[in-house]
Structure 1
Amino acid sequence: MMGLVRDRQCHFNFEINEQEDSKSIEASHYSFTKRQKGSFTRMRRKYTASDSSLFYRKFIPVAMGIRFFVMLAMLVTIFIYFSNPKAPSNTNGFYCGPCPKNWVCYKNICYHFSNESKSWNQSRASCLSHNSSLLKIYSKEDQDFLSLVRTYHWMGLIQSTSTGSWMWEDGAPLSSEVLSLIPVQKGNCAVYGSSFKGYTEKCSSTNAYICMQKSYRTGKLEAPSVPSNTIHP
């Protein structure tokens, strides 16, 4: 009888020990799994942060490069616009055209802005070869786009050696209402600056120049007439 009780007690203790061992194994497995998940999460965060940092290191220089080229393109466009103004082909009902290639048409007048530097006589000869004359300012309203010019160009304004008065190639006298002439150096010729201001200069100096010719509805291009008594420097 006592042996049977001991056997049952031993069996009961063995079952309890097995249950405790099983719970201990499950707890250890749970603890290991939890640590493994935590390690995986930290590793994933580490690689995610590393990828994100690498992406931004590559993206920022590319974005700055694109921004630089966009700003450069804008500056080049603005420079071209102000250094070589182009007017609309038809303004306030004025007929415009046809004009030679690379000429600017504005209010029935064709203009050519040269990129080469020549003396006044050479510039005038170049304009004559294109059936045109050097620039004449006859109206601030009709030639308002010339205020955009920012560099010096020869124009068809010369000083009479006999009277000292200034006149255009066609013999018309200079009017202070259309152009302010500022004496800079002794000379019988003048360059156009900007905002309807001219500057005296020696005719032998070299500058860019502006040619002009009228464009009629018939399509014929004609230069302003130049009288035979025009004063040549």
Structure 2
Amino acid sequence: MELMRDTKTQHAWGMTEFHNHHTDLAKRNVSKQRLKQRAAPITRRQRETSLPVLLAWFVAVAMGLRFIIMVTIWSTIVKNSLLNQEVPTSFNGDYSGPCPQDWIFYRNNCYWFSNESKSWNQSQASCMSKNSSLLKIYSRVDQDFFKLVKSYHWIGLVQTPTDRTWRWEDGSMVSPDILKIVTMCNSSCVVYGSSFKGYTEDCSTPNTYICMRKTA
């Protein structure tokens, strides 16, 4: 009888140990599940927070690159327009209208830009051989495309030795409201620069030149 009691007691103790062990395991599993459940919303929230941040970053980078590209394109266009060595791009081509071939027609005038450099007297003679004269700036409105010309060209403006006034080839006086003359040296000839400015230059210095004539 005593043996049977001990056996029952051991069996009951073993069952209790087994039950307690499984209870601990169950508690651990429940704790792990709760931790996962707690961790999952945090990870989800972090993702929900990080996605808009990443999206905003990509949008900012894309807009920055677009701005840089647009600035580069516009800078190139402006630079090419201002540094054009002949005429503005929009007037550089085969369009001659009623003018001879290789001449440019603009507002009832024909213009020819030389590629060769000559003295003022040689340039004048070359224009005369083409039934024209050296350029005369008579109106900023009617000749507004000349403000973009950046290279130096002989024009038909000289200083008379008697009264030291600046006159065009046809004898008319130059108006300071139309062309500003910048004294660079003590000379009686002028080259056109840009923005309706003329610069004094030694008449014997080789420069390109612009011929001009009215349309028939």
Distance 2:116 2:35 in 1: 80
- Assess, with a 3 A threshold, how the Cα gap between structure 1 residues 145 and 122 changes in structure 2: closer, same or farther: same
Give the aligned partner of residue 7 of structure 2: 7
The one-letter code matched in structure 2 to 1:200 is T
Give the aligned partner of residue 201 of structure 1: 201
CA contact (8 A) 1:150 1:193 kept: yes
Distance 1:130 1:63 in 2: 54
CA contact (8 A) 2:133 2:213 kept: yes
What is the total number of aligned residue pairs between the two structures?
Answer: 195
CA contact (8 A) 1:86 1:104 kept: no
What does 1:155-174 align with in structure 2 at a 5 Å threshold?
Answer: 155-160=155-160, 166-169=166-169, 171-174=170-173
List runs of 5+ in structure 1 lacking aligned partners.
Answer: 90-95, 217-233
- Assess, with a 3 A threshold, how the Cα gap between structure 1 residues 138 and 34 changes in structure 2: closer, same or farther: same
Q: Are positions 1:134 and 2:129 aligned together?
A: no
Matched residue SS, 1:76: helix
Distance 2:103 2:34 in 1: 81
Matched residue SS, 1:14: helix
Give the aligned partner of residue 174 of structure 2: 175
Give the aligned partner of residue 212 of structure 2: 212
Deviations 1:106-137 (A, max 9, x none): 31223345565442234345545665432112
- Assess, with a 3 A threshold, how the Cα gap between structure 1 residues 181 and 36 changes in structure 2: closer, same or farther: closer
Distance 2:130 2:71 in 1: 38
Give the aligned partner of residue 76 of structure 1: 76
Distance 1:116 1:201 in 2: 17
Distance 2:98 2:130 in 1: 14
Distance 2:101 2:115 in 1: 15
What does 1:43-54 align with in structure 2 at a 5 Å threshold?
Answer: none
CA contact (8 A) 1:97 1:215 kept: no
Matched residue SS, 1:199: strand
- Assess, with a 3 A threshold, how the Cα gap between structure 1 residues 182 and 18 changes in structure 2: closer, same or farther: closer
Give the aligned partner of residue 221 of structure 1: none
Distance 2:72 2:206 in 1: 31
Distance 2:100 2:33 in 1: 85
List runs of 5+ in structure 2 lacking aligned partners.
Answer: none
Q: Offset of 1:65 from its aligned partner?
A: 7.6
Stretch deviating more after TM superposition (205-214 or 100-109): 100-109
Larger relative helix fraction? 2
What does 1:149-160 align with in structure 2 at a 5 Å threshold?
Answer: 149-160=149-160
Distance 1:7 1:67 in 2: 88
Q: Normalization by structure 2: what TM-score?
A: 0.60
The one-letter code matched in structure 2 to 1:204 is S
Q: Offset of 1:211 from its aligned partner?
A: 2.8
Q: CA RMSD in A?
A: 4.6
- Assess, with a 3 A threshold, how the Cα gap between structure 1 residues 11 and 181 changes in structure 2: closer, same or farther: closer
Q: Offset of 1:190 from its aligned partner?
A: 1.3
Q: Offset of 1:155 from its aligned partner?
A: 0.3
Percent of paired sites with the same residue: 38
Deviations 1:78-129 (A, max 9, x none): 122234464988xxxxxx8345677554312233455654422343455456
- Assess, with a 3 A threshold, how the Cα gap between structure 1 residues 127 and 17 changes in structure 2: closer, same or farther: farther
CA contact (8 A) 2:81 2:89 kept: no
Matched residue SS, 1:10: helix
